[in-house]
Structure 1
């Protein structure tokens, strides 16, 4: 029960904050912004509340059941702590996103354009930091045909990929302080590099291991 305390606390707090703010919110609230900080997506306040709280509940349930249905579920016991930290960190970040949407809708001057890259960067730093400890599984990590077929390739790829994601996360967080046009390019390039390089690296390591 102890491991469920923090996720359930985050979900309950989100519901409470939404219910307190709900009567004071406009009927339509902003839920999406571009890199320049311009609103390009709206929802009803009820729809936004259901979506954001529902996302937290979905993430919690999904992470709860993944180890039970994974064919390699026996490996989860080797990275239980990292798995829990990843779950709790992501839930906390989405809780903060809930608060930002609410406060922005209430008229507070929240710089959503810069905070977006900061939040994405924070997610990459968390994943990059703990990804290196994740063992072979079918749901979490850099799942390529080469990593899933060889534990050594998996381990080396996740050490490499974790470092790349961590560095990319720092770059994205630092991009918060530069103009929006440059920030957009930096975030997109950082994400592409974080995806492509580990995939290519896993192939190279696989070829080396099978010579």
Structure 2
């Protein structure tokens, strides 16, 4: 039960935050911002509250039950601490995003375009620090046909992916210091790094092993 304490507290803290400030929020509040930090998506405060709290609850339930459904469920015991830290990091990230939505909604002039990249960057650095210890499974990590077919490919890919995530995290953190005109140009290569490179690398390792 101890491993559930912090995640449950984060979800409860998010719900309390919404309830405390709910009456101060206008009927419509911003819930999405573009890369320049300009609000481009709105919702009623009730729907925003349900959506954000519900997302955290559903995500946590999925993270709890995924190991029980995974054919490789025994491997979760080998990286249980990393799995817990990844879960906490994601929920803490969502808690911070909820706080930004609420305080922006009640009128605080928060530089979303400057703060969110910091939060995203630190999330990727944390994920990168624990990714290398994730063992083969079907729900968490870089799951490609090649990593799932071979434990060595999984291990090498996640070591590589760990470095990519940490690098991407630092790139996110420095992005607010760039001119607004360069942010969009800068962010797409970073997203490419995160999504594409680990997949390509896993295939490269597979081909290299296949030729040996």
TM (norm. structure 2) is 0.96
**Contact kept in structure 2, 1:117 and 1:187, CA below 8 Å:** no
Paired residue for 1:151? 151
Paired residue for 2:142? 142
Q: CA deviation at 1:180?
A: 2.2
Three-state SS of the structure 1 residue aligned to 2:29 is: strand
CA distance in 1, matches of 2:188, 2:119: 14
Paired residue for 1:131? 131
Q: CA deviation at 1:169?
A: 0.8
Uncovered stretches (5+) of structure 2, i.e. residues with no partner:
none
Q: CA deviation at 1:187?
A: 2.0
Paired residue for 1:186? 186
**Contact kept in structure 2, 1:132 and 1:155, CA below 8 Å:** yes
Uncovered stretches (5+) of structure 1, i.e. residues with no partner:
none
**Contact kept in structure 2, 1:132 and 1:162, CA below 8 Å:** yes
Q: CA deviation at 1:119?
A: 2.4
Three-state SS of the structure 2 residue aligned to 1:79 is: helix
Q: CA deviation at 1:182?
A: 1.5
Q: CA deviation at 1:2?
A: 0.5
Paired residue for 1:66? 66
User: Does 1:196 find its partner at 2:161?
Assistant: no
**Contact kept in structure 2, 1:35 and 1:181, CA below 8 Å:** no
Spell out the pairing of 1:1-211 with structure 2 (5 A cutoff): 1-210=1-210, 211=212
CA distance in 2, matches of 1:182, 1:195: 21
Structure 1 residue ranges (4+ consecutive) displaced by more than 4 angstroms after TM superposition: none
**Contact kept in structure 2, 1:127 and 1:162, CA below 8 Å:** yes
Three-state SS of the structure 1 residue aligned to 2:146 is: helix
CA distance in 2, matches of 1:209, 1:38: 47
**Contact kept in structure 1, 2:36 and 2:183, CA below 8 Å:** no
How many pairs align?
A: 211
Q: Report the RMSD for the aligned CA atoms in angstroms.
A: 1.0
CA distance in 2, matches of 1:184, 1:115: 16
